[in-house]
A = this chain, B = another copy of it.
């Protein structure tokens, strides 16, 4: 206090009273196109939190403004907008863009693939990220892991799925490799942005739709127009969310701004998952209380999907070099990681989930 008084009214005092940086206008201003409606406080909320953290850590010098899907560009054109530099960065599920390259499946998640912890491990500690970065570089894009949604639900269905025959001709909103596998099993996959799914399901233009899980699915209203809710969403071992940055914009960043973006991304990779895990239980309970019928996919469907998935991976690897390169690294990691997860994590989870909490 004495020191502050001493400095009052002097030029030095004025300079010290407020940190110089906080007064500076942003040195870097980016726009972030997301693929999510503003209503999804999980996905869009996490994009906002990432941008806020970048602003805080840079003391206002690096500003990123997020936009809901459709405001800057249509949700399904987010990748193109970043690739061609129309916006500096985007917040997407990469598997929506496997039409560009099947190798985008390794990022967002593959059927029966890595769960959320395994995905982070593969990318950050087991060599996956450099391979993925090399693939993204061909598109002029630098990729970051900015979130994970975990194992998803299998979606809402207007009719029950009792066997493989019920998949025949089923028109389902599903993107990524899941759509390709379901097509092998007779279904007709459709790609729709989040905001278009409800109306299509209500009108019967589609028979089924998957998005993420209870919290999001309830917000999008699927439970109001289809009665059966299936588990699990086998089409992604976990859904990993990707932050894409146009390569010239990334390279123009100072080292400290790159670090700020990276650490904010890592934080959201953990917090988005936590947000889903915190909100899904209540949403599922509410929907079931309102009449949603919870179902597991029949074993015959799971087995057929599993077989078709790895067949599809092998075929895709044979046809596409980027997929082949990544698959040759990913598959042994998956195998080795599963072997370890079986020993401690799964043994413990299986015991815990098999036993009720005493006194509850």
Point out residues on A near B: beta carbons under 8 Å.
Answer: 53, 56-57, 59, 112, 115-118, 120-121, 124-126, 150-153, 213-214, 231-234, 237, 256, 259-260, 263-264, 266-267, 269-271, 273-275, 277-282, 284, 294, 296, 302, 306-307, 310-311, 314, 331-332, 334-353, 355, 357-360
CA distance A91 to B264 in the complex (A): 22
Once A344-B231, A349-B346 are accepted as A-B contacts, the answer to whether A331 and B307 lie under 8 Å apart by CB is no
**Pairs A-B, 5 closest by C-beta atoms:** A125-B278, A281-B340, A232-B348, A121-B277, A266-B267
Q: Which residues of B contact A56 (CB under 8 A)?
A: 256, 259
Chain B residues closer than 8 Å to A275, beta-carbon distance: 125
| Complex CA distance for A334 and B281, rounded to whole angstroms | 11
Q: Using known A-B contacts A124-B271, A284-B343, determine if residue A338 contacts B310 with beta carbons closer than 8 Å.
A: no
Please determine whether A57 and B347 come into contact, CB atoms closer than 8 angstroms. Answer: no
With A340-B280, A353-B341, A358-B310 known to touch, is A270 a contact of B57 (CB < 8 Å)? no
Shortest CB–CB separation between residue A351 and chain B, in angstroms?
A: 6
* Nearest CB in chain B: distance from A109 CB, A: 11
**Chain B neighbourhood of A348, CB < 8 A:** 115, 151, 232-234, 237
Measured CB to CB, the nearest residue on chain B to A124 is B274
Return chain B residues, CB-CB under 8 Å to A152. 344
A347 to chain B: which residues have CB within 8 Å?
Answer: 151, 231-232, 296
**Contact in complex: B352, A273 (CB < 8 Å):** no
Which chain B residues lie closer than 8 Å to A338 at the CB level?
352-353, 357
Residues of B with C-beta under 8 A to A331: 357, 359-360
- Given known contacts A260-B57, A263-B263, A351-B234, A360 and B345 CB-to-CB distance under 8 angstroms: no
CB distance from A223 to the nearest CB of B (A): 15
Q: CB distance A266 to B271 under 8 Å?
A: yes
Q: Could you tell me the distance between the alpha carbons of A271 and B336 in the complex, rounded to whole angstroms?
A: 19
What is the bound-complex CA distance between A193 and B353, given in angstroms? 32
Question: For residue A112, which residues in chain B have a CB less than 8 angstroms away from its CB?
Answer: 351-352, 355
- Cα of A233 to Cα of B281 in the assembled complex, Å: 26
Q: Which residue of B lies closest to A352 (CB)?
A: B112
9 extra interface residue pairs, beta carbon distance < 8 Å, beyond A150-B344, A281-B340, A332-B360: A57-B259, A117-B277, A121-B277, A151-B345, A213-B344, A270-B270, A281-B337, A306-B351, A331-B360
A20 to chain B, nearest CB (A): 8
Q: Which among B59, B116, B310 is the interface contact of A117 at CB below 8 angstroms? A: B116
Give the chain B neighbours of A153 by CB distance below 8 A.
343-344
Q: Quick check: A120 and B343 within 8 Å, CB to CB? A: no
Contact A360-B335, Cβ < 8 Å, known A57-B57, A277-B121: yes
